[in-house]
Amino acid sequence: MTATSTRPAARARPFNWLPVKIWALYIVGLIPAVWYFYLGATGNLGADPVVTFEHNLGFWAIRFLLATLAVTPIFILGGPNLIAYRRALGLLGFWYVLFHFTVYLTLDRALDFSAIIPDIVKRPYITIGMLGFIMLIPLALTSNRFSIRRLGPRWNKLHKLSYLVIIAGVVHFVMSTKVLIVEQTIYIVLTALLLGFRVFKKPIMNWRKERMKAKRLAKA
């Protein structure tokens, strides 16, 4: 009767919602791309649909990459632990960069490589954007358990590239526009805060430890 004796234990284990929530994040995260594609394909994305689509994909790429980099600071500063969602956020960022680049190649440039190659080589903002995309590829390829186990501590080192990726992304965006406006300023400030946090992470963590210790002592 071993089968019946194990069953109650299995039933007692609570259902794990986490994988469901992660898949939901992937689906919700892709809604902007699908929505803008639908608007653009049906002629509802304004007078210049290709560029509007291209730019919106770029904005969402930067937003997801910033969200990825916000996971650790949010936790250390006393917020919720969102580490389980970090891979999904990062991969969404990668997909949006990929969509953005694909739209540039196809809808915008119609695969005219005699225009695309000089663009990438000669225009600093496109070169920088391209470098950001290239640096993102190994990060996307190693975003799985196998790579984490296989690479060990080197995985952490490799994924520090994400700092350069976000810098490249924001610089690419800011350089592509004619004047500095609110939107770019917000992205610059957020990037500076998130990367600045990495610089001051140790003192911040020490300060937290000290505070916790002080609390414990006060209680005792």
Partner 1 sequence: TPIRIGNKVDDAKGETVTPKESATTYNNFYEFGTDKSDPAKNAGKFKPLPWAIKVDGMVAKPQTFGYEDLLATMPIEERIYRFRCVEAWSMVIPWDGFQLSELLKKVEPLGSAKYVAFETVVRPEEMPGQKGYFQPLPWPYVDGLRLDEAMQPLTLMAVGMYGEALPNQSGAPIRLIVPWKYGFKSIKSIVRITLTDKEPPCSWNKAAANEYGFYSNVNPKRDHPRWSQATERRIGGKSGFFSGGGERRDTLMFNGYEEVASLYSGMDLIKTYY
- Contact between 170 and 191 under an 8 Å Cβ cutoff? The reply is yes
Does 121 contact partner 1 by CB under 8 A?
A: no
Applying CB under 8 A, which of residues 47, 111, 199, 218 lies at the interface with partner 1? 47
Applying CB under 8 A, which of residues 123, 135, 140, 148 lies at the interface with partner 1? 123
User: Residue holding tokens 């994988």?
Assistant: 19
Q: Is 14 left (phi over 0), alpha (psi -120 to 50) or beta?
A: beta
C-beta of 181: minimal distance to partner 1 in Å? Answer: 5
- Contact between 168 and 175 under an 8 Å Cβ cutoff? The reply is no
Name the one range near partner 1 by CB under 8 A: 60-68, 74-82, 115-123, 200-208: 115-123
- Contact between 92 and 29 under an 8 Å Cβ cutoff? The reply is yes
Contacts of 177 (CB under 8 A, 6+ apart): 184
The token pair that represents 99 in the structure block: 């969509």
With CA atoms as reference, report the closest residue to 33 among 114, 88, 100.
100
Applying CB under 8 A, which of residues 22, 28, 31, 41 lies at the interface with partner 1? 41
Write the binding mask 142 to 181 for partner 1: x where contact by CB under 8 A, - elsewhere: ---------------------------------xx-xxxx
Write the binding mask 1 to 40 for partner 1: x where contact by CB under 8 A, - elsewhere: ---------------------------------------x
Applying CB under 8 A, which of residues 31, 34, 110, 214 lies at the interface with partner 1? 110
C-beta of 86: minimal distance to partner 1 in Å? Answer: 32
With CA atoms as reference, report the closest residue to 166 among 129, 122, 126.
129
